Amino acid sequence: MKTLGFIGMGNMAKAIAEGIIKSGKMSGQDVYAYAPHQDKLQKNAKAIGFMPCATMEELLEASDTVVMACKPYQIEGVLEMYRDALAGKALVSIAAGWDFAKYKPLLDASTRVQFIMPNTPAMVGEGVMLFEETHSLEEEERKELFDLFSALGLVEEIPSHLMGIAGTLTGCGPAFIDLVIEALGDAGVKYGVPRAQAYALVSQMILGSAKLQLKTGEHPGVLKDNVCSPAGTTIRGVNALERAGLRAAFLDAIDAIVG
């Protein structure tokens, strides 16, 4: 891969471009982007360091690998107009719902496709990048993409039939955890902790707890038990959360999305 081009430059595309450039895995001179709002594109280009393009034609001519980062409802129109220009290129889709099977009938046979589902923590280098197992990239291209996206967090290959549920967990999950941060922050404020400090304490606690589980590989239940002393304060709080149906609430949230 010599050059990378973004069709669209929303928040996720900005996070990906910035992460790749900051990591040194690609030079900003080799990263291109096109978006219809040129003023905003120029501003982002100056801040992040990529090369802004005035037209789609300019972008596609400059890029051998293209990231489809526009709104999902816009994609079919883009493919109809630029199907021939995408021939022979690698196309990476980060648009929700646009997997390999959906692209295949709309592209030239020479266009190679990889569907990736990122999530918002990628903006701070702590994301989860789900690579659909079914793809048509060349082996070396895929290795390069794995390496590029590893600058944004954890990279995992997922079977096509599990991309939906895996993407629900990683894509919607941050909103659920944000609710937890807000609720525990409110509890701190209730008992006198300034709000900004309460949020900082809770967010760092969640970050540390997550890193501890990832590093040790311990079952979350074991880590929970390690904090719960006999007749202690934590087990009382755990008991209250169990009575309130915390586990069931999270399961119900996923059911509401998937169902």
Q: Which secondary-structure segment (H or E) carries 169?
A: helix 163-190
- Binding site annotation covers 12? yes
pLDDT tens sequence across 23-36: 899 999 999 999 99
Backbone angles phi, psi at 63, to 5 degrees: -110, 130
Counting every residue written for the chain, the total comes to 259
- Binding site annotation covers 35? no
What is the model's pLDDT at position 61?
96
Q: Give the integer Cα–Cα distance in Å for 211 and 208.
A: 5
Q: Answer for the pair 150, 127: CB distance below 8 angstroms, yes or no.
A: no
- Binding site annotation covers 52? no
Q: Which of 65, 61, 6 is nearest to 36 (CA)?
A: 6
User: For 97, which DSSP code?
Assistant: T
Q: What is the pTM of this model?
A: 0.91
- Binding site annotation covers 68? no
pLDDT tens sequence across 104-151: 999 999 999 999 999 989 988 899 999 999 999 999 999 999 999 999
- Binding site annotation covers 53? no
pLDDT confidence of 259, banded at 50, 70, 90? confident
pLDDT confidence of 1, banded at 50, 70, 90? confident
